[in-house]
Amino acid sequence: MAKTKQQKKQEVKELTDKFTEAKATVFASYQGLTVNETEDLRKGLRSEGAELKMAKKRLLKLVLKEQGLDENKINDFSGSLTVAFGYEDEVAPAKIMAKFAKDNEAMQIFGGLLGKVFITTEEIKNLAVLPSRQELLAKTVGTIQAPIAGFVNVLSGNIKNLVYTLNAIKESKN
């Protein structure tokens, strides 16, 4: 059943809000995917603070134009589109979509947006191999912590040597 003009306006408003809020988006084709595969993809995205939305190209063009972006980029994409919105981590949607596309040949990634800049499929794949935000934060904390831990070990070594020396003196006097 065709959507009414009011329903389309509502969908454009929802998409506009999602594009405004998202740090990164990935455009892909979902033709040929089963409902279960799509639900698995949704769950994977949801677990990383991202969301999947199916949309018609015509409505996406309106949203992109409203956002001040080049809506003609959508013409390069064939078939029905699904958009993965990443709200927390810029890398998460690219990582999940690339992994899913690798496991399911029916899905084809077309490109995306990083902030307000269009990125190609190749750039999406490059983003997918980057460590996640959590991993980068953990590595940073480890790098900052290493010199401090070494300093603590050096200081504790001096105290241990003092205790061993005092203990040896005590033993020699007994």
pTM exceeding 0.75: no
- The CATH number linked to 73 is 3.30.70.1730
- Same structural domain, 71 and 39: yes
Residue bearing the bigger pLDDT, 3 or 14: 14
Residue 78 has a pLDDT of: 72
Cα-trace Rg, the chain:
26
- Same structural domain, 72 and 125: yes
Share of residues in the chain with pLDDT > 70 (%): 98
* 3 state DSSP class of 40: helix
Please give the average per-residue pLDDT across 35-55, as a whole number: 89
- Same structural domain, 87 and 98: yes
- Same structural domain, 125 and 160: no
Q: Which of the four pLDDT bands, split at 50, 70 and 90, describes residue 164?
A: confident
* 3 state DSSP class of 62: helix
Burial of 24 (0-12, 13-18, 19+ CB in 10 A): buried
- Same structural domain, 141 and 112: no
pLDDT tens digits, one per residue of 50-109? 999 988 888 888 888 888 887 777 777 777 788 999 998 888 899 999 999 888 888 888
Closest Cα to residue 132, out of 89, 83, 79?
89
- Same structural domain, 93 and 152: no
Domain span at 135: 131-174
- Same structural domain, 85 and 17: yes
- Same structural domain, 93 and 174: no
Number of domains present in the structure of the chain: 2
Residue 26 has a pLDDT of: 92
Residue 167 is inside which H or E element, if any?
Answer: helix 133-173
114: which strand partners?
A: 24, 117
Residue 1 has a pLDDT of: 60
The overall longest dimension of the chain from CA atoms, in Å, is: 98
49 in Cβ contact with 90 (< 8 Å): no
Q: How far apart are CA 78 and CA 28, in angstroms?
A: 9
- Same structural domain, 161 and 102: no
Please give the average per-residue pLDDT across 136-160, as a whole number: 83
Q: Which two tokens stand for residue 30?
A: 């979902």
Please give the average per-residue pLDDT across 99-121, as a whole number: 87
- Same structural domain, 97 and 145: no
Q: How far apart are CA 121 and CA 126, in angstroms?
A: 9
- Same structural domain, 112 and 174: no
- Same structural domain, 30 and 67: yes
56 in Cβ contact with 138 (< 8 Å): no
Provide the mean pLDDT of the chain. 85
89 in Cβ contact with 47 (< 8 Å): no
